[in-house]
Every structure is written in structure tokens, then in C-alpha cells.
């Protein structure tokens, strides 16, 4: 299975700053993001389930102030970080698009699937 480096593990803070990375979603250029929650890394396509806009307030800022939920900067939808489930807001019950991610040897790596692929050159 292909694994693509995102960043060193130390760049992603528990309930805090995440890291964006370039992807192709379908045929569109997009970004993914990785956050740490409950001691584990989780990655998603950077698109709100309500309207396909990027979630972060500023690059890498995905969590609301308590560090317990990912929050859409545009619509205020809140997502459970370990599942991508929308727990409140205009898309309640929907989910963020998960990206397979692993952590090994001090690095965070993502694995492409049939929809989310590396950026085409």
C-alpha cells in the first residue's frame, strides 16, 4: 500500500494545531488535514459536510477553543475528531470524508484510496 509523508509526528498537537496536505479529491485539487485526538492521529478531506468549504479558521486551526471538537469556521458545524461525525450544526448526522493515516518512525503518513489521491503533476 502506498504511504505518503505528511509531516513529523511532533508537528501535530493533541487537541490543537493540525497540518494540511495537498490531495486530489475526485478530479479536483483539494487539501486534507491531520489532527491528533485521544493520543491518535486522524485525517480527513478538508471539506465541511454541509457546504464544501475548507474547515480551518487559519491554516492548521481546526479545533474549537476546548480542543474537543473540530469546528467549521464558516458554518459552525462541529465534528467528533476521532470519527468525523457531525454532532451539531447544519449538517448534523453527516460525516467528514476520512483519509487513512498512520504514524510510524516519528512520521505521519497518509494512504490514498479510490477518491482521495496524490496531487496530479
Predicted confidence pLDDT, tens digits, the chain (121 residues) = 699 999 999 999 999 999 999 999 999 999 999 999 999 999 999 999 988 899 998 999 999 999 999 999 998 999 999 999 999 998 899 999 999 999 999 999 999 999 999 997 6
Residue whose C-alpha cell is 486534507: 32
Residue 37's beta-bridge partner residues? 40
Which pLDDT value is given to residue 37? 97
Which pLDDT value is given to residue 52? 85
Which pLDDT value is given to residue 118? 94
Which pLDDT value is given to residue 111? 97
Q: Which domains does the chain have, with CATH numbers?
A: 4-114 (2.102.10.10)
Phi/psi at 3 (5° precision) = -125, 130
From the CB of residue 5, how many other CB atoms can be counted at a distance below 10 Å? Answer: 10
DSSP state of 14: B
Amino acid at each position: 500500500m502506498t504511504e505518503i509523508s505528511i509531516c513529523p509526528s511532533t508537528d501535530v498537537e493533541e487537541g490543537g494545531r493540525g497540518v494540511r496536505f495537498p490531495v486530489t479529491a475526485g478530479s479536483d485539487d483539494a487539501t486534507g488535514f491531520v489532527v491528533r485526538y485521544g493520543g491518535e492521529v486522524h485525517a480527513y478531506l478538508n471539506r465541511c459536510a454541509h457546504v464544501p468549504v475548507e474547515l480551518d479558521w487559519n491554516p492548521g486551526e481546526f479545533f474549537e477553543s476546548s480542543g474537543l471538537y473540530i469546528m467549521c469556521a464558516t458554518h459552525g458545524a462541529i465534528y467528533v475528531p476521532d470519527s468525523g461525525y457531525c454532532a451539531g450544526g447544519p449538517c448534523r448526522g453527516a460525516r467528514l470524508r476520512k483519509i487513512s493515516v498512520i504514524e510510524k518512525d516519528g512520521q505521519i503518513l497518509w494512504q490514498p484510496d479510490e477518491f482521495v489521491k496524490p496531487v496530479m503533476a
